[in-house]
Structure 1
Amino acid sequence: MSKEFEIVREFEADATPEQVWEAVTSGTGGWLWPMDAPEPREGGKGPFGSTVTAWDPPHRYTNRVESVEGIHGQSLNQLDHTIEPRQGGRRAWVRYVHSGIFVDDWDNQYDGASKHTDFYLHTLREYLTHFAPRPVAFATLNGPEASTAADALDAVVRALGIEEDAVAGSAVEVRGPQGRLFDAVLDYRNPYFAGLRTDDALIRFFGRNHWGAPVGISVHDFAPGADAKADEAAWQGWLDEVFS
């Protein structure tokens, strides 16, 4: 049965309102994934077939779509960003509202969207603090069918060599593709997601097995000359091996 939903988050960002605005409207994939940048006007075209319903740089940006392409289980989707200056404009306060209509499996859809929101917005803050406005090479991939198992994300974290009791903020040595060891900060960790930050990348691990889907990985590579296809191939091979 169709039912409306609303997910609201408010936070301060270690960035100016202009920097936050650029991050959420440029479409670069620096913190989320590459998408078409919106036409810079009310009534313009937005990502995923949406329409820009509010455009007031750098304070308010809203897009809305009523026939959602590529988003399973929704008939309406709206993303609203309100950005206000703090500390004389040196920091920004952000109010983010994701609303719409889920057409089936409402509880599962809402739970997944809500928890993903927290992870995505954390990644936005990490990007703004450590990487903006560096250009990015973005890769995303999914695990095999075996990665839908209940303990799949736990298996991924173990394969990375991260201790079970490691918490967000911990410095860790990670075992990545081809057994390569590298240093990182475990910038996010809960039963549903894990995030790693290196000097040149944000690597995100999505425990979508909790919602009946395969585990996913995204790589935001800010290194000079970064190769998104090479990143994708390397991490796909690593993830497939974890579940082989």
Structure 2
Amino acid sequence: MGRAFEIVREFEVDASPEQVWDAITTGAAGWLWPAEYEPRVGGAAGLGGVVTAWDPPRRLTSRQEDPDGIEGLPQSLNQLDNLIEPREGGRAWVRYVHSGIFTDDWDNQYDGANRHTDFYLHTLRQYLVHFTGLPATQSDIHGPKASMAKGSFGAAVRALGLDGAAEGDTVRVELPGAGAADALVDFRNEYFLGLRTGDAMYRFFGRDAWGGPVGIAVHDFAPGSAAEQERTKKAWRTWLQDVYA
């Protein structure tokens, strides 16, 4: 039996409402994953969703609903609502609400979604402040089955040489497919790690905590990065295989 949930976040960011709107609605924006919205109420919102509110740059709502379960999600209803308002100094205030119905393992699904929300929205703010308007080549890599065992995420952090690194530290790290680079640890807790270089963001996900594999997302803003996408994916995939061999 399904049970409703709601996750709410509010924040201000050093970006205009128009920049926030473009980041959320433009598939090339490099903070989450490629997403496209048909710019009208009733338009397609991806993954079988539909746009239910389209008021640029103020309000965007999308909704997916299937009583038999949404493909790829343990849900029968999934809704994302974004309210954006201007603030002094060209800043924007954002109210983000993720709601719906989880159909299985409610506590685990809610905990995972709730914690992912903070990391996703932090990454959005990083994009808006440091890379806004730039298209990204985005690569998502999932670890092998062995990385699904609870407690596996720490092995990836240690393999990067960042076990003792704290949020705000600048580190020298070897990045598969890119080589050695100086990076800022822009997010760090027991579940997630975020690294930002001058031309990319690297996101590390400890989804083993919720029964999934450790994952990596690379958001590369460097010119010519699209031509290197497959090599980047292969390098990180090999790295994960080695970590969890």
- Fold similarity call, TM over 0.5: yes
Contact 2:79 2:100 in 1 (8 A): yes
Q: 1:11 to 1:168 in 2, by over 3 A?
A: same
* Secondary structure, aligned partner of 1:155: helix
CA distance in 2, matches of 1:82, 1:48: 21
Tell me the residue number matched to 1:149.
Answer: 149
1:200-211 superposed matches below 5 A: 200-211=199-210
CA distance in 1, matches of 2:124, 2:177: 29
Larger mean CA deviation between 93-102 and 145-154 belongs to: 145-154
Amino acid at match of 2:204: F
Amino acid at match of 1:199: G
Tell me the residue number matched to 1:12.
Answer: 12
Query: Aligned-pair distance for 1:163?
Result: 3.7
TM-score, structure 2 normalization: 0.95
* Secondary structure, aligned partner of 1:49: coil
Query: Aligned-pair distance for 1:44?
Result: 1.4
CA distance in 2, matches of 1:149, 1:240: 14
* Secondary structure, aligned partner of 2:30: coil
Tell me the residue number matched to 1:188.
Answer: 187
Q: 1:40 to 1:181 in 2, by over 3 A?
A: same
Q: 1:2 to 1:124 in 2, by over 3 A?
A: same
Percentage of identical aligned residues:
59
Query: Aligned-pair distance for 1:65?
Result: 1.1
Query: Aligned-pair distance for 1:71?
Result: 3.1
Which blocks of at least 5 consecutive residues in structure 1 are unaligned? none
Q: CA RMSD in A?
A: 1.4
Tell me the residue number matched to 2:240.
Answer: 239
Which blocks of at least 5 consecutive residues in structure 2 are unaligned? none
Q: 1:223 to 1:178 in 2, by over 3 A?
A: closer
Matched, 1:95 2:95: yes
Query: Aligned-pair distance for 1:175?
Result: 2.4
Q: 1:57 to 1:105 in 2, by over 3 A?
A: same
TM-score, structure 1 normalization: 0.95
1:62-141 superposed matches below 5 A: 62-67=61-66, 69-88=70-89, 90-141=90-141
Amino acid at match of 1:235: W
CA distance in 2, matches of 1:201, 1:120: 15
Contact 1:66 1:77 in 2 (8 A): yes
Contact 1:178 1:238 in 2 (8 A): no
CA distance in 1, matches of 2:219, 2:180: 18
CA distance in 2, matches of 1:43, 1:243: 44
Larger mean CA deviation between 105-114 and 39-48 belongs to: 39-48
Query: Aligned-pair distance for 1:176?
Result: 2.5
CA distance in 2, matches of 1:48, 1:191: 30
Q: 1:12 to 1:178 in 2, by over 3 A?
A: closer
CA distance in 2, matches of 1:179, 1:32: 20
Instruction: Report the number of matched residues.
Output: 241
